[in-house]
Amino acid sequence: MKNQMVVKSNFLIEASYKLSAPEQRVILFLVSMINPNDEDFREYVFPIKDFAEMAGIKHKQEYAQTEEITKSLIGRAFTIHSPKGRLQISWLSSAEYQDGKGAVSLKFDSKLKPFLLQLKERFTKYGIEQVMRLKSSYSIRIYELLKQYEKFGKRIFFMEDLRSKLGISYSEYPRYGNFKQRVLSIAQEEIAEKTDLSYDFEEIKVGRGVGKIRFIINSKAVEKNQITQAEPIQPIPATPESDEISKLIALLPAEYRGKESIKRLILSSFEKHGFDYVARNIEYANDGSNAVKPGVSLGKGSNYRVYLAKALVGDFGLPSREDREANQAQEEKARQEQKAAALAMRQAQEKIQREQENKDRARVYRESLSPEALEALKEEALVRMDPAHREALNRKATGSVILLRIAIDKLCLERMKLA
């Protein structure tokens, strides 16, 4: 076991899941048995006693607990986020018990092949002996997450992201003090004592509480005999970018996305200020730097990296974005007012048209009545009229005839059931 290596895709390390320490030992041991040249998963057969020893199961409970562990690894689904999309999957596709031989045969789910076989980039590699002695499941996961960033010497997590990756719900350690004591401090002590890493951590406040954790990763000296016996550890390829870092780099002009100095600039500012801060200053640099404006002569403002660095230091993107958002708000307000005016005009025109159509219908209805029926309609309209309008009609006041006509038309529409 001493010389066996665990090689896992960073997408698999970044996945959010929760396994017990024995379950993780089983998975990591299986991973360490993969040959670098394997093109497909093999079935791995273990005597139950060896399986129990590897998982740390007590002798008297080895058969029952082995079945419990394999059943959990087959049935417990988790999600891997990769460039191709989201994959919901379980760790094992099968666990076949050979009762006559006292053995169990295990096989990975075939959909895990891109994350465990023939890895050429974006992977992390470490010796299996580094994690097999860890007792806390959180210690194993934190070790992997920090090992991935070992060459960078630090890693920052938002608290909700760290909880998610460790599979810790808010109901488990709702107060940060409990989370620190039961997860971070225990893992810190155990990793320092039993592995090739140690870490310190700093609490970064967001608002009133601890919103981020900055891990300071320390590598221990490796004994010479370990170096000669173990396979050489492959360097982790360029910065393992989180989704947010990838989004920030995508905001850069195409010709600057591959420049390491600009990536480091973005990563440093992101760790201090977060996504929105960096994004608005990239947008500011894209708008203002002559380096990305076709046809503009080079000179002042033509060094994109310098322009972006100054923007990130001074947060020049904030007033620029505020002005842009204010202009957008004014434009949106003008659009809404224009839209409301157009709606009001259309409704007024529809009302005029509707009133004219009703007048025409009332006229047709009146003309269809006999003189006697028309006189009765007039009398009923007079009774219904407002007393003031009726008094004006008796005085033959100007416009009173129109008031009578309106009353008659209304009555006609009622009779036609149109009012």
Whether residues 4 and 122 fall in one domain: yes
| Calpha distance 150→216 (Å, rounded) | 9
pLDDT at position 258: 85
Whether residues 81 and 43 fall in one domain: yes
Whether residues 168 and 198 fall in one domain: yes
Cα 122 to chain center, whole Å? 21
Whether residues 162 and 43 fall in one domain: no
For 186-206, the pLDDT digits (tens) are 999 999 999 999 999 999 988
* pLDDT level of residue 308 (50, 70, 90 thresholds): very high
| Calpha distance 132→109 (Å, rounded) | 22
pLDDT at position 415: 84
Who wins on pLDDT, 316 or 301?
316
Whether residues 124 and 208 fall in one domain: no
Who wins on pLDDT, 237 or 413?
413
| Percent of the chain residues past pLDDT 70, beyond the cut | 91
Tell me if 234 is assigned to some domain. Answer: no
Tell me if 236 is assigned to some domain. Answer: no
pLDDT at position 288: 84
Whether residues 306 and 330 fall in one domain: no
Tell me if 262 is assigned to some domain. Answer: yes
Tell me if 119 is assigned to some domain. Answer: yes
- DSSP state, 58? -
pLDDT at position 223: 43
| Calpha distance 320→312 (Å, rounded) | 13
Whether residues 18 and 119 fall in one domain: yes
pLDDT at position 293: 62
Tell me if 59 is assigned to some domain. Answer: yes
- DSSP state, 173? S
Whether residues 289 and 327 fall in one domain: no
From 132-146, 233-247, 248-262, 381-395, the region with the lowest mean pLDDT? 233-247
Return the top range by mean pLDDT from 75-79, 140-144, 152-156, 204-208.
Answer: 140-144
Whether residues 326 and 396 fall in one domain: yes
**Full residue range of the structural domain in which residue 250 is found:** 243-315
pTM: 0.54
pLDDT at position 88: 94
For 359-391, the pLDDT digits (tens) are 888 888 888 889 898 889 889 989 888 889 888
| Calpha distance 94→59 (Å, rounded) | 24
* pLDDT level of residue 300 (50, 70, 90 thresholds): very low
Domain CATH code at residue 22: 1.10.10.10
At 240 the three-state DSSP class reads coil
Q: Which of 204, 92, 193, 201 is nearest to 136 (CA)?
A: 193
Whether residues 42 and 109 fall in one domain: yes
The backbone torsions φ and ψ at residue 85, rounded to the nearest 5 degrees and listed phi first, read 135, -160
Whether residues 388 and 365 fall in one domain: yes
For 209-233, the pLDDT digits (tens) are 899 999 999 998 554 344 333 333 3
pLDDT at position 71: 94
Q: What is the mean pLDDT of the chain?
A: 85
pLDDT at position 242: 57
Q: Is the pLDDT of residue 302 over 60?
A: no
Q: Which of 285, 315, 345 is where one domain is finished?
A: 315
Q: Quote the number of domains for the chain.
A: 4
Who wins on pLDDT, 369 or 238?
369
Whether residues 219 and 141 fall in one domain: yes
| Calpha distance 132→185 (Å, rounded) | 19
pLDDT (mean) for 291-304: 57
Who wins on pLDDT, 5 or 297?
5
Q: Which of 79, 88, 106, 183 is nearest to 140 (CA)?
A: 183
Q: Is 117 within 8 Å of 100 (Cβ atoms)?
A: no
How would you write 88-149 as a 3-class SS string? Answer: EEECEEEEEEECCCCEEEEEECHHHHHHHCCCCCCEEEEECHHHHCCCCHHHHHHHHHHHCC
Q: Which of 229, 263, 280 is where one domain is finished?
A: 229
Q: What H or E segment, with its residue span, contains residue 310?
A: helix 304-314
| Percent of the chain residues past pLDDT 90, beyond the cut | 41
For 247-295, the pLDDT digits (tens) are 898 889 888 888 888 988 898 888 888 888 999 999 999 888 877 665 4
Tell me if 237 is assigned to some domain. Answer: no
C-beta neighbour count of 80 within 10 angstroms:
22
CA angle 56, 58, 59 (to 5 degrees): 120
Strand 77-82, strand 123-127: pairing: unpaired
Computed from CA positions of residues 241, 245, 246, 249, in that sequence, does the dihedral angle turn out positive or negative? negative
For 159-183, the pLDDT digits (tens) are 999 999 999 988 899 899 999 999 9
pLDDT at position 121: 82
Q: Which of 289, 315, 341 is where one domain is finished?
A: 315
